[in-house]
Amino acid sequence: MTKAVAVLAHADQMDGRGAAVEAHDGDQFVQCRRAPHEPIITCEAAGPRGQPWMRHALSKKRRANLKELGYVSDRKTGNFVARLDPSEWPNDKLAGFMVATLVGGYDVDSSDIVTETGSYPAVACPPRNPAGHDFGGEIAFNDRSQKDLEENCEVAGMDDEDESRLPKPLKSIPMDSGKAEDLMKQNVKEIGDAYTWLLGVSGPGRRGVVLSWGEFHIQCSKTAEPVIPCEIESAEANPTLRSVITAAVGRKLNKMGFREPGYSKNYIGWFRLNDGKPENWAWSMMQAALTAFGGYAIQPVTVERRAAKGET
């Protein structure tokens, strides 16, 4: 981190571009930058306007921690902003400040922090990632922006859904218990087969599966890591789920081992490859689907397999 933040000292030599350094764990980020001839360093920490799921990570205590570090809430971007005098913030002190932002503001483990450096166009309103995307509200350095800021340099929040279009919670099982039990067994077999297929990739290859119950989805993937991460879509990522995946449902998923949104826009859990077998994971995932989607999970699961290009 100390080496990374040193790039900010060279902004005046970057031919019209600003220097940026970012530290993050998943979608939880802190980004410090300085444009040529600017007398200050500006640091922004992820907020709920660009990434609505940050409301889970940003508890009252963690917001207070950010305030103690010198951050204030910025209404335009929804991020938390701190402005620092470079003469008072040598590289090692600034590196510690960025780590403290993630640890105190988002409860990130310091060993999980990833660091990136780069540059961005030094204009009045540099491009940012749009709201609702991973790293929404972030200054998009290294020219990776998907969209420029709206007029007045504000991040446009996500539109609310028409309440009349939202699905209602479905608690009852829409069939007799015998048929429901047979369906659950068949779903567990289909999901177990999907996990077995995921295990067929090795090395740098990547495979993914999407488990669907109508409009409700769970996505799992397998990379070179010894785990299979699975994500259950959150109401912040898809507002049509607000009346189904409620706060109470979220607490139940958390008790089942799914990490609340913040690190990711969705609820995310991991199956370790040396802990259990595909049929065990399939049963656990079926229970998670019933917890998240209620009666909507009492229907045949559809499995979509996704392989890397060139793989069968």
Rounded mean pLDDT, 98-125: 92
Using CA atoms, how far residue 284 sits from 24, 191, 219, 227, 271, in Å, is 30, 10, 14, 15, 10
> Whole-number mean pLDDT of the chain?
86
Residue 15: the pLDDT is: 84
Using CA atoms, how far residue 84 sits from 76, 93, 136, 205, in Å, is 19, 11, 23, 43
Residue 199: the pLDDT is: 85
pLDDT band at 222 (very low <50, low <70, confident <90, very high): confident
Angle in degrees, 0-180, between the axes of helices 60-68 and 91-106, rounded to the nearest 10 = 160
Tokens of 201: 């990739």
Which residues, in sequence order, are bridge partners of residue 155?
none
**Would you call 223 exposed, middle or buried from its count of C-beta atoms within 10 A (0-12, 13-18, 19+)?**
middle
pLDDT band at 71 (very low <50, low <70, confident <90, very high): very high
Residue 73: the pLDDT is: 92
pLDDT band at 161 (very low <50, low <70, confident <90, very high): very low
Is the pLDDT confidence value at 203 over 60? no
Is the pLDDT confidence value at 4 over 60? yes
Write down the residue that tokens 């993914």 correspond to: 208
Is the pLDDT confidence value at 45 over 90? yes
**Stretch among 13-22, 32-41, 113-122, 136-145 having the lowest mean pLDDT:** 136-145
SS3 210: strand
pLDDT band at 67 (very low <50, low <70, confident <90, very high): very high
User: pLDDT tens for residues 242-291?
Assistant: 888 888 999 999 999 999 999 999 999 998 888 888 999 999 999 999 99
